[in-house]
Structure 1
Amino acid sequence: MQTNPRPSLLYLVVGGLSYPVLRLLYRLTWRGVERLPAVGGYVLAANHWSSFDPWPIGMPLFPRRYLRFMAKSELFWFPLGPLISACGAFPVRRGQRDQEAIDTAVRLCREGHVVVMFPEGTRRQKGLRKKHEARWRSGAARIALEAGVPLVPAGIAGTDALARFAKLRVAFGPPVSLDGLSELPVDEAARIATDRLREAIAALEESLD
């Protein structure tokens, strides 16, 4: 019987300390967890408002799943680098096609991890939603297609108003259909899958309004 990778000790400690803060102070709620694969790796892709986004998207799965996050390579300096690595992060060089980061993500998915991606590529600024949607990256779709794992959408709301203690909400959707895409050229398959993913995330966001 396949089992999921166990979270690191530091991941469990940070999650355990964060859980009551998010649930009580920020009144975190979520729905759709039953749609997520219970066993095996997948790519979990969401909209991106804040650097705090990994917390609300990870808490609904805590402590059952070990979420792995791409983090910009500039963060991996001592002593921060070893700490965030132990919490599940791995580096990516932004602004370029980082094949090493992609290979790492594919390997983690195949090993049964949940790899979290923010396809918008950067945090949104208020009022610029349309601009950022037009610049979505196809990395999440490419990784899911190459690894042969589900591509799961999620919507996050409230992390753009943390200073006002806004209520945090997360909605998970069913995996995006990748049927037939393996027969297409890689770039075309990734583009189609990314378009489907963007539509699914947008629908989940709207459902949180």
Structure 2
Amino acid sequence: MSQSDLVELKEQQYKDPRAKADFDRFHERTRTREPDFIYEVVRILMSLIGWIFFRVSNTHPERVPAVGPVILAPNHFSFLDHFFLGVALRRKVHFMAKSQLFKPPMSFVYTHGGVFPVRRGFADEEAFTTATTVLGRGDVMAMYAEGGRSRTGEPAKKAKRGIGRLALLSGAPIVPVAIIGSSHVRNWKRGQFPKVRVYYGEPFAYERVEAPTRDQEQAAADAIFAEVRALYDAATRTGSAPS
């Protein structure tokens, strides 16, 4: 499918008008409790959808360390990328999602499934505190280097510095991930279900920095996203990522 075949995304509200306090309970739960049975139920349902409709394939998921803190850094096209990313992993993956999604009844599913909110357009320190807490106890965090979904059918040109900040604050290994095909997932309304391929790159890490500067954060984010782009470009050019 070409880019012209993309179903257009609706305009989104970037800033959530709700107050910080409205989200404190979601952060508290993620910081103090692991994802529960809801995660497993959603994993099973979404895995079936992924395999049946989108024929999801995964290459080198074994590169994700089996224990200890890990940051997964995928490109981002679709709201289903969270699920495509975790289908092949035995470990439970925590996600940072825009606060607008946290409304009943789905807020219950999100918070019990390891998802916590980030207030876009604000200096949301709570989101980073939660993310570093998750990594500090040895769990897996997924964070999109682009900060949000690309609307062009191609990865964004530049990374947001948030993932660089998280990498430097935590010192956790980073696994770049390329998700191919999910830009056309929204075409399901036309009865079109593209094949989705997920490639996991080699992990790497930065030395922990207690108080990184904005320039350090951006430099780390750019380097991380360069690895994601290299993986994505190789996979789209040859049909397989570097071994």
Q: TM-score, normalised by structure 2?
A: 0.75
| Percent sequence identity over aligned pairs | 36
- Could you tell me whether the CA contact under 8 Å between 1:22 and 1:56 is conserved in 2? yes
Q: Render the CA deviation track for 1:66-113: whole Å, top value 9, x for unaligned.
A: 111111111212222121111111010001221000000000011122
Residue identity in the other structure for 1:111:
R
Q: For the residues of structure 1 that align with 2:60 and 2:221, how far apart are their CA atoms?
A: 21
Which deviates the most, 182-191 or 17-26?
A: 182-191
Q: For the residues of structure 2 that align with 1:127 and 1:145, how far apart are their CA atoms?
A: 29
What is the match of residue 172 of structure 1?
Answer: 200
Larger Rg, first or second structure (1 or 2): 2
What is the match of residue 100 of structure 1?
Answer: 126
- Residues 43-122 of structure 1 aligned to structure 2 (within 5 Å): 43-61=71-89, 64-122=90-148
Q: State the 1:126 CA deviation.
A: 1.9
- Could you tell me whether the CA contact under 8 Å between 1:141 and 1:151 is conserved in 2? no
Q: Render the CA deviation track for 1:26-72: whole Å, top value 9, x for unaligned.
A: 111111222211101111111111111101101010xx211111111
- Could you tell me whether the CA contact under 8 Å between 2:172 and 2:205 is conserved in 1? no
Change (3 A) 1:151 1:186: farther
- Could you tell me whether the CA contact under 8 Å between 2:93 and 2:141 is conserved in 1? yes
Residue identity in the other structure for 1:103:
T
What is the match of residue 219 of structure 2?
Answer: 192
- Could you tell me whether the CA contact under 8 Å between 1:43 and 1:150 is conserved in 2? yes
Q: For the residues of structure 1 that align with 2:57 and 2:109, how far apart are their CA atoms?
A: 27
Residue identity in the other structure for 1:188:
D
Q: State the 1:175 CA deviation.
A: 2.0
Q: Render the CA deviation track for 1:153-182: whole Å, top value 9, x for unaligned.
A: 111011111222111100111123425x74
Q: How many residues align?
A: 199
Q: State the 1:127 CA deviation.
A: 5.8
Would you say 1:161 and 2:161 are equivalent positions? no
- Could you tell me whether the CA contact under 8 Å between 1:7 and 1:65 is conserved in 2? no
Q: For the residues of structure 1 that align with 2:119 and 2:66, how far apart are their CA atoms?
A: 31
* Structure 1 gaps, min length 5: none
Q: State the 1:185 CA deviation.
A: 4.7
Would you say 1:141 and 2:164 are equivalent positions? yes
Q: For the residues of structure 2 that align with 1:165 and 1:66, how far apart are their CA atoms?
A: 26
Q: For the residues of structure 1 that align with 2:37 and 2:210, how far apart are their CA atoms?
A: 41
Would you say 1:26 and 2:54 are equivalent positions? yes
- Could you tell me whether the CA contact under 8 Å between 1:158 and 1:166 is conserved in 2? yes
Q: TM-score, normalised by structure 1?
A: 0.87
SS at match of 2:55: coil
Change (3 A) 1:27 1:148: same
Residue identity in the other structure for 1:60:
A
Q: How much is the aligned-residue C-alpha RMSD, in angstroms?
A: 2.1
Q: For the residues of structure 2 that align with 1:185 and 1:24, how far apart are their CA atoms?
A: 44
* Structure 2 gaps, min length 5: 1-32, 237-243
Q: Render the CA deviation track for 1:170-197: whole Å, top value 9, x for unaligned.
A: 0111123425x74995333322211211
SS at match of 2:42: helix
- Could you tell me whether the CA contact under 8 Å between 1:70 and 1:92 is conserved in 2? yes
